């Protein structure tokens, strides 16, 4: 499997992705808002974009579909539950569906509601798995639930699906928010030893060449995976004095999401 991350440098800080078959050069474009960037890279690589996949229905992920379809004739794939809102979808996807790219690449669809109720994350069937996480999981953060989402469902997605993936899984999110998210981590958990050096790195690095982080690393500094950390809980109880001494992870997650909304 060939995987390229494309930094949009737009105001929404989108990352786009191309996944291609090493055998045939057929390629899948994921959330190609700045579709010309995707097309240019595919041409430089000698790949043909034959499929487009939207992780969810928000316009900052689907707004490039029409242009890229016009340019390539690619088929559009999206969560079956989001298809009518996106329009022009050729294949509706559900949990466990496999997307094939050429004869040799298989990617599994995870049904990951929370940011919206019809959100797909993609998991590659490769020795080191790659997770294309859309707006569900960001580096050091979690998606918001402002536009059609549900924090309770997001919590379930985190604990029942994302946290259980192999630790070596590489995380490829839909936006670049690392520094801002690490500032939240340090606000919530000032003694987090992994977050401070990474924040220095994040402030210095060009998103186009940013290091890809693994799920094991995320669990060290992503507050939304650190629901039993004593310092996260202590700081949370300072903000919400009614919380019990050992709150349920679910409660911690929902309170963190609430704080992040207005932080
Ligand atoms: Zn979104
Ligand atoms: Zn987005």
Rounded mean pLDDT, 108-130: 97
How far does residue 144's CA lie from ligand 2's centre (Å)? 10
How far does residue 33's CA lie from ligand 2's centre (Å)? 10
Which H/E stretch holds residue 140? none
**181-205: per-residue pLDDT in tens?**
999 999 999 999 999 999 999 999 9
Q: Say whether 58 is catalytic.
A: yes
Q: What is the DSSP letter of 185?
A: H
Please tell me the distance from the alpha carbon of residue 36 to that of residue 38, in angstroms, as a whole number: 5
Q: What is the DSSP letter of 51?
A: E
Residue 32 has what pLDDT?
A: 98
**42-91: per-residue pLDDT in tens?**
999 999 999 999 999 999 999 999 999 999 999 999 999 999 999 999 99
As to burial, measured by CB atoms within 10 angstroms (0-12 exposed, 13-18 middle, 19+ buried), residue 229 is middle
Residue 251 has what pLDDT?
A: 98
State the ligand closest to the CA atom of 138: 2
How far does residue 138's CA lie from ligand 2's centre (Å)? 10
């Amino acid at each position: 499997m060939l995987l390229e991350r494309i930094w949009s440098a737009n105001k929404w800080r989108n990352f786009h992705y191309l996944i291609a078959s090493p055998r045939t050069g057929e390629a899948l474009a994921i959330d190609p808002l700045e579709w010309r960037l995707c097309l240019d890279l595919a041409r430089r690589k000698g790949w043909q974009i034959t499929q487009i996949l939207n992780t969810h229905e928000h316009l900052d992920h689907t707004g490039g579909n029409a242009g890229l379809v016009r340019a390539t004739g690619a088929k559009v794939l999206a969560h079956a539950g989001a298809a009518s809102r996106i329009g022009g979808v050729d294949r509706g996807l559900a949990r466990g569906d496999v997307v094939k790219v050429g004869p040799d690449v298989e990617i599994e669809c995870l049904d990951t509601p929370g940011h919206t109720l019809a959100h797909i994350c993609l998991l590659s069937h490769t020795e080191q798995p790659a997770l294309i996480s859309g707006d569900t999981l960001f580096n050091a953060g979690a998606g918001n639930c402002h536009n059609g989402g549900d924090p309770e469902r997001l919590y379930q997605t985190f604990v029942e699906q994302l946290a259980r993936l192999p630790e070596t899984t590489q995380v490829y999110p839909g936006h670049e928010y690392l520094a801002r998210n690490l500032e939240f981590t340090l606000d919530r958990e000032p003694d987090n030893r992994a977050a401070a050096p990474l924040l220095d790195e994040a402030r210095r690095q060009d998103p186009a060449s940013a290091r890809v982080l693994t799920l094991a690393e995320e669990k060290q500094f992503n507050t939304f995976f650190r629901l039993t950390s004593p310092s996260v809980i202590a700081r949370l109880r300072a903000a919400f004095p009614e919380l019990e001494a050992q709150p349920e992870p679910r409660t911690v997650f929902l309170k963190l999401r609430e704080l992040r909304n207005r932080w």
